[in-house]
Structure 1
């Protein structure tokens, strides 16, 4: 699957944000847990790279290809996901809801497939279209 960077209208970005806000809480929890898992894996990767000096693909903790099921399960297992998200947010992020945490990550990541679906998670398995069909 080819990965592209966003290049859409403000209306398209607003549509993505609206669809994230309209998701049910369980879906938001799953996506947030994936984002946190990715960030923790990235942090571990950066620490290993400093220690062993290898490139990303040369060791097993590459954040783009390695998914830590244990970390994901731990993140998803928390009753209050907003506390987990607030603990793992970056210093520049400000939000009060899971949807805003996901929107911040999504808009920073700016990746999409086929120029039609925005990636909500780092792995590209959760997407929403940039356009909303008004007939639905």
Structure 2
């Protein structure tokens, strides 16, 4: 009976360890996939053509270049530098101490990135990006 309990305990411990390491690998994989320059293609509302650019660097710095919205409303392109952190599917962008965004990564592959945010009025807003090669 003691032998059976030992085997069951070892099996449960093995299952717990392997399931945790799989999640860790997925998170590291997503971190590696997000690194690079992403060109905006479309948005869910289609109102503003999406041609913004965001670059994620391996040292967790980021640069966002605002083109479409900024040119349309301000007459000039603008950019902002900050840092990024990806925790599971939540992308946190820290532009400064007062400007922090938490965005859901709906999909990430080697060449596509889909980001989802909820606007202050509760509307879902989706941005589609392609990786610059």
TM-score interval, smaller chain: under 0.3
Which one has the bigger strand percentage? 2
Q: Which protein, 1 or 2, shows the higher relative CO under an 8 Å CA cutoff with sep ≥ 6? A: 1
The structure carrying a bigger helix percent of its residues is 1
